[in-house]
């Protein structure tokens, strides 16, 4: 049975899930845009990592009696268009890495906000793991 009223913790967990979906989609998109084999490999791996998090988070959301929501398709389409334009107008590598850092930062911020809520222990462990790994990914993208 789906909860009609969601707690702040439920909403926060759902927002982390949405950010992971956005990130996974972002990495699939930038993998299609790049001509550089090293970036293609990196972006495909990151897409898989974020998709794995989506699946784990959605399972947690469902265990709490809720249904995961979907990202705003119009907003995502505009973001992808902006990424493509910046990559076409500037240095592809720099543009794609910078945009990826921005995506990770948004995920980190959302995860930290969720950790301020009273999450169930399993959800808290998962969000902490995502926050830490996303921070590591962001650092990797900065040094790439």
Residue-wise pLDDT for 93-123, tens only, equals 888 899 999 999 999 999 999 999 999 999 9
| pLDDT greater than 90 at residue 72 | no
How many C-beta atoms surround the C-beta of residue 3 within 10 A?
Answer: 11
Residue 107's pLDDT is what?
98
* DSSP letters spanning the chain: ---SS--HHHHHHHHHHHHHHHHHHHHHHHHHH---HHHHHHHHHHHHHHHHHHHHHHHHHHHTT-------HHHHHHHHHHHHHHHHHS-HHHHHHHHHHHHHHHHHHHHHHHHTS---HHHHHHHHHHHHHHHHHHHHHHH-
Residue-wise pLDDT for 49-62, tens only, equals 999 999 999 999 88
């Amino acid at each position: 049975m789906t909860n009609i009223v969601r707690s702040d913790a439920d909403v926060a967990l759902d927002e982390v899930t949405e950010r992971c979906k956005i990130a996974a989609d972002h990495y699939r998109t930038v993998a299609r845009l790049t001509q550089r084999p090293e970036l293609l490999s990196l972006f495909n791996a990151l897409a898989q990592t974020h998709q794995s998090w989506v699946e784990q988070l959605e399972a947690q959301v469902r265990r709490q009696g809720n249904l995961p929501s979907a990202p705003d398709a119009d907003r995502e389409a505009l973001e992808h268009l902006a990424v493509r334009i910046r990559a076409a107008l500037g240095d592809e590598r720099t543009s794609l890495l910078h945009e990826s850092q921005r995506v990770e930062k948004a995920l980190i911020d959302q995860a930290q906000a969720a950790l301020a809520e009273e999450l169930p222990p399993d959800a808290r462990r998962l969000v902490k793991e995502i926050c830490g790994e996303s921070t590591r990914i962001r650092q990797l993208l900065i040094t790439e």
